[in-house]
């Protein structure tokens, strides 16, 4: 309960991060500034909270390594947590994630970003400094595909930050090192798993970058994040991660497979009291491809500046668009998240679709009959099959919950016993 209170208070204050340490007051980061918001946390209390979150197996691994990464949800708020040891004892750095990801509009991104997902192959790089919302933008891309296209999406994350429910797409989320020992092994395995979209939470090593470029060249749409302050810096980091004798081939591979590079920073809108991403976007025009192949990455800024009509954005041009927007999507209040979190998972994740109403109009839901004592025979679901063309399935109303209803609807649609 204490951990829930810390998270809820930090979220209500508009914090992006929460810092805890034994013998130190609770600290939050609001709009980039650290603020003390609570009394000192006892070391025993923090250790007990951490142990409950990690579980016994995770606690044993933490004791051996001295650090641990995990993600958790509390009160409807999703968190990414890093536990570590300090001179004072136990400590934790907690990133509060956007509570609900629906689409790019919900992330307050420009509508033009949707066009990037029209590509069926290639590489989309989402970059930015630490804490700029890269993971949230990546999740919005996934949800945008999930809502509009039937694709097989495989994600490699460390740790898993956002949880997705299959809608039009089929999403397989894998966590490193739980489901795959390394990103390198995970990418290699993913290419054998028939994905349409491969999502890599962060490109860190040259080997991961090489495998990412290979995947983008072999008929997959690859989405990946990396740290940088500009689009040019992101491309430079990729190219300079390789030995000098192979950089020319890497630049050619990058130019051929690139779909887009975006770089974002969080901008606080005082009038709206809201953090909104301000973006730079590079598209693979012929001029951009030629510049990348030639290694003249310092000229990327000039290409961005002169290619506004081709759909590219500089930070300054994007800022002018932001100044014209009057309505922004705001995150839900903590009370609404807490109420939503009380709903059982089977309700919120149900994918059963109700039948379409007839042309005569919608049929009102039948009222629930009063609860009565059930006979032993009525306590079980009964089936009768008068003919091969139809099937009658009866379920007592007093025993019907949402999970049973979902299973019943599936049987009716698939005509299975």
- Within this chain, do residues 250 and 394 fall inside the same structural domain, yes or no? no
- 258 found inside a domain: yes
- Within this chain, do residues 322 and 230 fall inside the same structural domain, yes or no? yes
Residue 292 vs residues 38, 125, 135, 242: alpha-carbon distances, Å: 50, 15, 26, 15
From 130-144, 216-230, 282-296, 334-348, the region with the lowest mean pLDDT: 334-348
- Within this chain, do residues 30 and 59 fall inside the same structural domain, yes or no? yes
Confidence of residue 408 (pLDDT cuts 50, 70, 90): low
- 105 found inside a domain: no
- Within this chain, do residues 225 and 139 fall inside the same structural domain, yes or no? yes
Encoded tokens for 233: 């810096």
- Within this chain, do residues 244 and 314 fall inside the same structural domain, yes or no? yes
Q: What total of structural domains would you count in the chain?
A: 3
Full residue range of the structural domain in which residue 60 is found = 2-96
Alpha carbons 205 and 210: distance in angstroms, whole number: 9
- Within this chain, do residues 116 and 72 fall inside the same structural domain, yes or no? no
Q: What pLDDT does residue 13 have? A: 87
**Residue bearing the bigger pLDDT, 170 or 39:** 170
Q: What pLDDT does residue 123 have? A: 98
Q: Among 96, 121, 140, identify where a domain stops.
A: 96
Q: Say if residue 200's pLDDT is above 90.
A: yes
Which residue spans within 57-163 are E strands per DSSP?
67-74, 77-86, 89-96, 122-128, 152-157
Q: Say if residue 416's pLDDT is above 90.
A: no
Alpha carbons 12 and 332: distance in angstroms, whole number: 10
From 61-75, 123-137, 290-304, 363-377, the region with the lowest mean pLDDT: 363-377
């Amino acid at each position: 309960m204490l951990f829930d209170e810390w998270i809820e208070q930090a979220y209500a204050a508009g914090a992006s991060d929460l810092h805890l340490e034994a013998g130190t007051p609770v600290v939050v980061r609001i709009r980039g500034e650290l603020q003390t918001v609570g009394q000192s946390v006892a070391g025993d209390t923090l250790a007990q909270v951490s142990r409950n979150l990690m579980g016994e197996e995770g606690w044993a691994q933490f004791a051996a390594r001295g650090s641990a990464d995990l993600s958790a949800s509390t009160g409807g708020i999703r968190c990414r947590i890093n536990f570590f040891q300090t001179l004072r004892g136990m400590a934790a750095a907690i990133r509060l994630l956007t509570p609900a990801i629906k689409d790019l509009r919900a992330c307050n991104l420009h509508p033009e970003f949707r066009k990037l997902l029209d590509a069926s192959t290639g590489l989309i790089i989402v970059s930015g400094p630490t804490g700029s919302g890269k993971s949230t933008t990546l999740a919005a891309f996934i949800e945008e595909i999930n809502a509009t296209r039937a694709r097989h999406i495989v994600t490699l994350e460390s740790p898993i930050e956002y949880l997705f429910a299959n809608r039009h797409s089929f999403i397989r989320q894998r966590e490193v090192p739980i489901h795959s020992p390394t990103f390198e092994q995970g990418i290699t395995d993913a290419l054998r798993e028939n994905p349409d979209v491969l999502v890599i939470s962060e490109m860190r090593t040259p080997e991961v970058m090489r495998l990412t470029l290979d995947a983008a060249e072999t008929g997959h749409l690859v989405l990946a994040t990396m740290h940088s302050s500009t689009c040019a810096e992101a491309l430079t980091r990729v190219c300079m991660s390789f030995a000098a004798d192979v950089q020319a081939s890497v630049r050619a591979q990058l130019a051929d497979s690139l779909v887009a590079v975006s770089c974002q920073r969080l901008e606080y809108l005082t009038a709206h009291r809201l953090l909104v991403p301000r973006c730079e976007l590079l598209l693979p025009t012929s001029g951009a491809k030629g510049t990348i192949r030639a290694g003249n990455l310092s000229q990327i800024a000039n290409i961005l500046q002169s290619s506004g009509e081709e759909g590219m954005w500089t930070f300054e041009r994007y800022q002018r668009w932001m100044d014209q927007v009057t309505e922004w999507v705001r995150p839900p209040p903590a009370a609404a998240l807490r109420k939503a979190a009380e709903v059982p998972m089977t309700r919120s994740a149900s994918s059963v679709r109700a039948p379409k109403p007839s042309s005569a109009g919608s049929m009102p839901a039948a009222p629930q009959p009063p609860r009565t004592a059930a006979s032993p025979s009525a306590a079980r679901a009964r089936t009768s099959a008068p003919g091969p063309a139809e099937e009658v399935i009866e379920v007592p109303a007093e025993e019907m919950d949402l999970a049973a209803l979902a299973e019943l609807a599936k049987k009716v649609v698939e005509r299975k016993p």
